[in-house]
Every structure is written in C-alpha cells, then in structure tokens.
Homo-oligomer: A and B are copies of this chain.
Amino acid sequence: MSHSFTILKSCPATEARAGLLSTPHGTVPTPVFLPVGSQGAVKTLTPDDLKMIGATIILGNAYHLYLRPGTEVVEKVGGLHRLMSWGGPILTDSGGYQIFSLVSLRRVTDEGVTFRSHIDGSEHFFTPELVIQLQEKLGADIIMPLDECPPYSNNQNLILEAMRRTHHWAERSLRNHHREGQALYGIVQGGTLVELRRESACFLTSLGFPGYSIGGLSLGEPKEAMLAVLEETVACLPKDKPRYLMGVGSPEDIFEGVARGVDMFDSALPTRTARNGSLFTMLGRHNVQNVCYKDMTGPIDNRCDCYTCHNFSAAYLHHLFKSRELLAYRLATIHNLHFIISLTERIRKAILEGTFATMKQSFLGSYQTTNEETRIAQKKKWLESRVGLDSPTSPVQ
C-alpha cells in the first residue's frame, strides 16, 4: 500500500478537518497525536502498551538512532519497525531540531552541519543527502529532510538565512530520496515572521511534497505569536496534503492547531510530564505527588478509562512516585498518552459530526492551562537543561 491522504470531513466553522492517512504499515485516522520514541522506544512502554493506549503512528529520531545504536545496527536487525517490534506506521524526524537545540558545539555551512555528539562529544558531519540515506536505512514510513531550526529570536537575518538554507536542503533532499513506499515531507521554517513563513510555505509547496511539516514553533515564543504564524502558514499550504505541526502537543495546543487545519502533532510533553507525576485531567494537569493524593482511594480521574485509572487508586500512584518505583513512570505515561490520544479521537469524532467548534469551546472553558508566564519560563528552563541531556528527570533506583 502506498501513501495517500483523504479528507473525510471539514469543519464548517474552523479550518479543522478529519481524514485518513494511508502508509505502507497501515492507515492513520487524523487528526492524530504521535507518541515520541526518539531513541527507538516510547519511554517505559512496549509496543503492546502503545496498541492498548490507541497509538496508531509513532515518532523516531534519525539523529538519536544514528548515534545510538547506529544506523547500521538498525539496518542489520531489519529496520526500525523490526527493532522496536512495532508493526504500525513510523515517522522519523531528521534530527535538525536536535542538532540545533541539544548540541552545544556545531558549525553550519550551506554544505551541511558539523556537530559534536551530546553523548560522547565525537564529531559528526550531516548533509541533507546523508540524512536522507540514514532514514532510508531506518525505513520509517514518513521521513523529514534536514532543516536548520534556529532558537526563538527576533533576529531577522538569522531567521532568513536559516530558512533559505532549509529550502536548499529540502531541494537536495528531494533529489536524493529514492526509497519506495517512504514519504518525504517538506519542513516550513521562518521563525515568528509571518512574511517569511508565507514565503517558506509557498516555496516548499512549489517543490511538491506529499506532506508538510511546520517546524520551529513552540520554542518559547508567546502562544499568540505561534497561533498567528500557524494560521498564516497553513493558509499557504495545499489543502489536500497532510500538515504536521512538529513538537506541539498540549491539549490546548492540539485544539488550536486542529482549528487552524493541522492534521498531525507530536510532543514529548505528555510523556515527560508524566515521569514527573504531572497527570492530565479534563480540568487541567495535576501532580499526583501532592499530599492530597496520599490516601485517595479512587483513580486519578474518575472519567478516565485507561489501564492505570481502571486498575489503580491515586493513593497507589502517589506511593509509587514517593517510593521512586519504576512502575510509577510507566503507569503515569500510560495515563497521559491515553488522555491525549483519546482526546484527539474525540476531536476527530466531533469534526465528523460537525460539532468541533462547540466541543473546543466547552473543553477550553473548563481545562485550566498553565499560566502563560510560567509556561514560557518552564520552556526556557527546559530548553537550557537539554544540552547534553535527553530528559530532565532522573528517577533513581
């Protein structure tokens, strides 16, 4: 089966649409949230857990897998699907974002980017061609070209240069991509500058990709700026192709993204916050380590039908976190991913039934989002902590 994208229904009030994305490893109903498995594993979960949670497509990362276990090892084992024992669709990110955020030492030229591994400091050189080759070996269903993803700033020259380079790299990637049954998307850049975003979207559209990613957002910019840029970008992309908003996946952002015509989301937020004990409910995120959960006999969320809420009390989760039992991180991950994935499924159902706008209003009316100032401060802290570390949590034992 080859790639196709079918829109089943569009929202009359917003840009939202419900569709079906076909890939060689199965068909994915959209809008969809992709759990993040950068190193070849969605942290703490087996493929069976992912199926139980309702995941239909997952994310890998070429930068991480190239460094460890190494592309050759993945190829020898039979590809990324076989390595992870995941039979469903996989999308791999190129690692552009990682190289420009995770790595402290790098030199970028038009030819490519030289960087030092965040693991052992060894030097590596990525060109767009090499990154395509790596991903052809990994064998994901959908892959991304190498892009230059500058940090959030208002330096117009810097953003312009990164965008132009990303465009040249996109052309080279397209020319050098040969693997059958694998779809290469284009990545829109341009920071928070609406004019550049439009230019980027138009240019990439002219190259004719089977799907379009929107990169370089959710990097600490104000939420309003992100949504404005998103709106303008999507307006310049072809209606009949899937749109993937990279690295965005809080409940409120999924609603706002869907309303602006986005079909695919990924984010480490649900899994990362889960490992800190911060769990989604319809009213907002609550930390199960708080003392109020110490002897709560009911589940974290009475209305949730995930494995964790179905089987365990909030008191038990509280205990597991306080005791640093490894099971804590898994049960919390199951809950948060189930929350995001089933929320996305309900969004899809609402689009199909023509009730998305009402549903969005109702959800955002009761869901307590993180205060904007706190959110930006947390994001900044997290981005800074990432250099040399894949995750800020260090559960002992």
Number of residues of chain A lying within 8 A (CB) of chain B: 45
Given contacts A297-B76, A297-B77, contact A84 B316 (CB under 8 A): yes
Taken together as a complex, chains A and B put the C-alpha atoms of A44 and B46 apart, in Å, by: 12
- Partner pick for A294 among B41, B69, B316, B390, CB 8 A cutoff: B69
CB-based nearest B residue for A322: B68
CB-based nearest B residue for A390: B397
Given contacts A69-B294, A311-B85, contact A396 B397 (CB under 8 A): no
How far does the Cβ of A77 sit from chain B's closest Cβ, in whole Å?
Answer: 5
Q: For chain A, what secondary structure do more than half of its interface residues adopt (helix, strand, loop), or is it mixed?
A: loop
Contact A316 B77 (CB under 8 A): yes
- A311 partner residues in chain B, CB cutoff 8 A: 46-47, 85
Per the 8 Å Cβ criterion, residues 29-85 of A in contact with B are 39-41, 43-47, 68-69, 72-73, 76-78, 83-85
A164 within 8 A of B: no
Contact B397 A323 (CB under 8 A): no
Contact A320 B397 (CB under 8 A): no
A327 within 8 A of B: yes
Q: Copy number in this complex?
A: 2
Contact B391 A394 (CB under 8 A): no
A295 within 8 A of B: yes
Taken together as a complex, chains A and B put the C-alpha atoms of A311 and B84 apart, in Å, by: 8
A159 within 8 A of B: no
- A394 partner residues in chain B, CB cutoff 8 A: 396-397
Q: List residues of A whose CB falls within 8 A of some B CB.
A: 39-41, 43-47, 68-69, 72-73, 76-78, 83-85, 294-295, 297, 307, 311-313, 315-316, 318-320, 322-323, 325-327, 329-331, 390-391, 393-397
